[in-house]
Amino acid sequence: MASGLGVIIIAVLAAAAAADVPDQSTHHVVGGDDGWGPALDVTAWLSGRVFRVGDKILFKKSGTDESVVELRGPEEFLKCNLTNPIRMYTEEVSHVALEEEGVRYFVSGNLESCKKGLKFPVSVQSPAAKDWKPQPNPYGPPSPPFDPTPAFWPPPPFHPSAAASLKGASGVVAAGLLIWCMGGVSL
């Protein structure tokens, strides 16, 4: 009977360890109900937002012909150089998955709208970056000359502690103990 109780305890611990990490992804709807378009206040929309690996960005057109273009780097972003994009999102509703850390650059496909400020960078952080605080948006209303301060952009990468790495290992250890207790592995 005592070994049966031990198996139950280990099974409960294994299940708790496996269920310990809930899905915390966020769906960021650009512009909220108003959507993506010339009326979007990019600074207000970005204020306080933190983008993490696993999050999604949703671009909804606001009734205008404003496509979304993803650019390769900061130079193209600052100059609204649309000649060599990574991707163009032309659908009425476009979903963008944030699958890895780094900075991504989104601008309007309309050159004039881009030059008027319909653009923003997305600094994608590790999902374990709990202590990271959003940086002030260096892209306030654009005014010539437009030169972002490097101290704000992009934020430094976050490196999770060893404790965050061990959290996932606890489920493996619990599963191993469960198999051992059930007599699946002889030592």
Which residue ranges form the domains of the chain, and what is each CATH number?
24-163 (2.60.40.420)
pLDDT at 178: 55
pTM: 0.60
- Give 13-22 contacts, CB < 8 A, sequence gap 24+: 13/174, 13/177, 14/171, 14/174, 14/175, 14/177, 14/178, 17/170, 17/171, 17/174, 18/171, 18/174, 18/175, 20/167, 20/170, 20/171, 21/167, 21/168
Confidence of residue 65 (pLDDT cuts 50, 70, 90): confident
Give the mean model confidence (pLDDT) for residues 35-59: 92
How many DSSP H helices and E strands does the chain contain?
Answer: 5, 8
Give the mean model confidence (pLDDT) for residues 100-112: 95
Residue 74 pLDDT exceeds 60:
yes
